[in-house]
Amino acid sequence: MRVILVDDEKKFITMLAKRLKFRGFEADIATSGVDAIKMATQKKYDIAVLDIKMPGISGTELKEKLALIQNELKFIFVTGHGGVMQSDCVLGPKDIYLSKPLDIDILIDSMTSCSEKF
Amino acid sequence: MTDCQDDQREMKNLQFFGKINASISHELKNILAIISETTGFVDDLTQLARQGKKFDLSLLENCNQSVVEEIERGFHTIRQMNKLAHTTDMPVASADITEHLDLAVKLTKFLSFSKPVKMVSPEKSVQVETRPFLLVTTFYQLLCELFKATAGDHPLGVKIIAGNNQDATIIFSEYSFDFLPALVSEVLDDAAHLLNFKWETDKSENTITLHLLPAVNE
């Protein structure tokens, strides 16, 4: 399974990518929406794990742009903000929302289930 | 102030505290997320070692360094939170303007739309009798509005000038919009009476100047 991790917290996604690779996933990282868009035009991914609050392009805006490039792409949103579900109707019915700090097993379960379900 | 104005002020103070609380808790969650992933990776390396597989020891050193850096980042965050909490100790007090402006700048750093700020201040402390909490609130809100209206990462200029009579002038410059956002006027007009300052803009120079006068209005 090919995953792109997008978050402006570089250390977070670098470490997460290492842990996913350790578990047999192919994981790339991007620290901005612009970089993620460039990468998605060059390589096919199965899942995008996006931080919601990022400088420049937000995670929800990025989802729209990535979906236009790769229409099969599945999305998991990750955020350190509480109350996102209540304050913004940002998630589509197929999207998964996880809160930081992450549990790697829950992330992997979510990645597996969203790639199997849809 | 009327009771109604008092209530509105109280509500604005609460909203400000809520906003700051949300941005600081977001920062702390990010720090914990990095520490959590790093310790998780150390756990993964431990599993490798148990299986008799070799790995570069510098990986462990890097993990250790990363955790140390994140702990320092956490302390820095908590220090700002603590400084803000103490601005409510006295409703009116003699305050160091540079320190309070610096606190407001540091608090904005936790926001995703934050921009760089280039602050110039006199070597000697600039003390003005003021309402410390409202002063930080006003600086913070003003910076937020200027960031939102400024494109790119060009630093916002802030210059503090000490007056001769326990007063001070603060000049905000280098923002890159041609019109003054309505919220900037709202923020400044709202606080001008309570903080006893006058403010003006110079459209040709693109500056906002605040002149903090000695002694706040009761």
B33 touches chain A (CB under 8 A): yes
Nearest to A92 by CA among A118, A70, A116, A112: A118
Contact criterion met (CB < 8 Å) for A101 and B26: no
Write down the ipTM of this complex. Answer: 0.88
Residue type, B182: A
Residue type, B196: N
Average pLDDT (A39-65) is: 94
A106 touches chain B (CB under 8 A): no
Q: Which pLDDT belongs to residue B10?
A: 83
B22 touches chain A (CB under 8 A): yes
Contact criterion met (CB < 8 Å) for B112 and A8: yes
Q: Which pLDDT belongs to residue B183?
A: 83
Count CB atoms within 10 A of the CB of residue A15.
25
Q: Which pLDDT belongs to residue A105?
A: 94
**B171 in Cβ contact with B211 (< 8 Å):** no
Evaluate if residue B176 carries a pLDDT over 90.
no
Mean pLDDT lowest among A101-105, B8-12, B89-93, B96-100: B8-12
Average pLDDT (B181-185) is: 81
Q: Which pLDDT belongs to residue B216?
A: 67
Edge to edge, what strands does the sheet with A2-6 contain? A26-30, A2-6, A47-51, A74-79, A96-99
Average pLDDT over all residues of chain B: 90
Q: Which pLDDT belongs to residue B78?
A: 95
Mean pLDDT lowest among A42-46, A90-94, B98-102, B122-126: A90-94
B115 touches chain A (CB under 8 A): no
d(CA A17, CA A40): 17
**B95 in Cβ contact with B80 (< 8 Å):** no
Contacts of A10 in chain B (CB under 8 A): none
Q: What are the two backbone dihedrals, phi and then psi, of residue A73, each rounded to the nearest 5 degrees?
A: -65, 135
Chain B neighbours among A 36-75 (CB < 8 Å)?
Answer: 53-55, 58
pLDDT digits (tens, 9 = 90+) for A6-19: 999 999 999 999 99
- Token code pair at residue B203: 């459209």
B205 touches chain A (CB under 8 A): no
Question: Percentage of chain A surpassing pLDDT 70?
Answer: 88
Nearest to A75 by CA among A57, A54, A56, A98: A98
Contacts of A58 in chain B (CB under 8 A): 112
Q: Which pLDDT belongs to residue B218?
A: 60
Edge to edge, what strands does the sheet with B156-162 contain? B117-120, B156-162, B168-173, B207-212, B197-202
pLDDT digits (tens, 9 = 90+) for A60-116: 999 999 999 999 999 999 987 765 454 444 566 678 889 998 999 999 999 998 877
Peptide bond connecting B155 to the previous residue in cis, omega within 30 degrees of 0: no
Contact criterion met (CB < 8 Å) for A15 and B38: yes
Contact criterion met (CB < 8 Å) for A81 and B112: no
Q: Which pLDDT belongs to residue A86?
A: 42
Q: What are the two backbone dihedrals, phi and then psi, of residue B212, each rounded to the nearest 5 degrees?
A: -85, 120
**A45 in Cβ contact with A3 (< 8 Å):** yes
Higher pLDDT, B113 or B73: B73
Rg (CA), chain B: 22
Of A12, A54, A82, the CB nearest to B112: A54
A82 touches chain B (CB under 8 A): yes
d(CA B216, CA B135): 11
Of A53, A54, A104, the CB nearest to B40: A104
Evaluate if residue A30 carries a pLDDT over 60.
yes
Chain B neighbours among A 9-28 (CB < 8 Å)?
Answer: 9, 11-12, 15-16, 18-19, 22
B217 vs chain A: nearest CA distance in angstroms? 38
Contacts of A17 in chain B (CB under 8 A): none
Nearest to B165 by CA among B217, B120, B214, B125: B214
Contact criterion met (CB < 8 Å) for A82 and B66: no
Q: Which pLDDT belongs to residue A87?
A: 41
pLDDT digits (tens, 9 = 90+) for B16-66: 989 999 999 999 999 999 999 999 999 999 999 999 999 899 999 999 999
Contact criterion met (CB < 8 Å) for A53 and B112: yes
Contacts of A98 in chain B (CB under 8 A): none
Evaluate if residue A22 carries a pLDDT over 90.
yes
Residue B179 — very low, low, confident or very high, per pLDDT cuts 50/70/90?
Answer: low
